[in-house]
Amino acid sequence: MLNIVLFGPPGAGKGTQSAKLVEKYGLVHISTGDVFRALDPQSDLAKLAKGYSDKGDLVPDDVTIKILESEVSKHPNAKGVIYDGFPRTTAQAEALDRFLLNKGTSVTMMLSLVVEEDELKQRLLSRAEVSGRKDDADVNIIQNRIENYNKDTAPVATFYKAQSKLTEIAGVGSIDEIFDNLCSSINQLQD
Ligand code: ADP
């Protein structure tokens, strides 16, 4: 089973590239952000998640890990999964390792999209116009998301680097160029 963690700060292009990778490789796409946004807005879980995400804070690990595990379990016959926006803390990465080990599989690789901060902020503000997302529309919330990324999420790359699973890919250039670079890394692995 191909388990690809697509990593990068908010606005790095994970969602865009995931859609293309899913199509090319026939993988299941799991975005914890999308899962939270798709919950019934009246449910307690949706309200809880929104309380964090609207401020640009991370949803607590226990909740997020449960959501992820239940999402993966919906696809018992998947030939592979792209994890987008998960894991975002080292505790989540450890939980994912345990969960996959239990299933007799493991994270194949982490592809990390590298984009500098000013570019991220520009992209998120432009996305706000189409996404309607509250967390994209406010510079202070964007700043908080980037700070949380640097503090809590960036260490996840170190976690996979220690397992020799990390590949960094420039997240700037055309969408197709970036996609080609991601594909090259995946193809190398399959050779
Ligand atoms: P982006 O990558 O653009 O920041 P996402 O759609 O991936 O946006 O996530 C939106 C929000 O959902 C995050 O800011 C956070 O509050 C919550 N969230 C998503 N994934 C996780 C996660 N793995 N751990 C904790 N919170 C998460």
- Residues 119-177: pLDDT tens digits? 999 999 999 999 999 999 999 999 999 999 999 999 999 999 999 999 999 999 999 99
> Atom of ligand 1 at shortest distance to CA of 145?
14
Which residue, by CA, sits nearest to atom 4 of ligand 1? 10
- C-alpha 166/C-alpha 157 separation (Å) is 7
153 lines ligand 1 (CB under 6 A): no
Give the active site residues: 14, 88, 127, 133, 145
pLDDT band for position 189 (cuts 50, 70, 90)? confident
Instruction: Give the number of the atom of ligand 1 that is nearest the alpha carbon of residue 68.
Output: 23
Q: Which residues contact residue 174 at a Cβ distance below 8 angstroms, ignoring those fewer than 6 apart?
A: none
Quote the CA–CA distance of 47 and 183 in Å, as a whole number.
37
For the chain, domain boundaries:
2-190
Would you tell me which CATH number, out of the four given (3.40.50.300, 3.20.20.70, 3.90.550.10, 3.40.50.2300), belongs to the domain 2-190? 3.40.50.300
pLDDT number for residue 190: 67
Instruction: Dump pLDDT digits (tens) for 3-57.
Output: 999 999 999 999 999 999 999 999 999 999 999 999 999 999 999 999 999 999 9
Identify the pLDDT of residue 191.
58
Cα(162)–Cα(109) distance, integer angstroms:
12
The Cα–Cα gap between 111 and 13 comes to 12
Q: How many helices (H) and strands (E) does the chain have?
A: 10, 5
Token look-up 């998640």 returns 49
With a cut of 80, say whether residue 79 has pLDDT above it: yes
Terminal-to-terminal C-alpha distance of the chain:
15
Question: Collapsing DSSP states into helix, strand and coil, what is residue 26?
Answer: coil
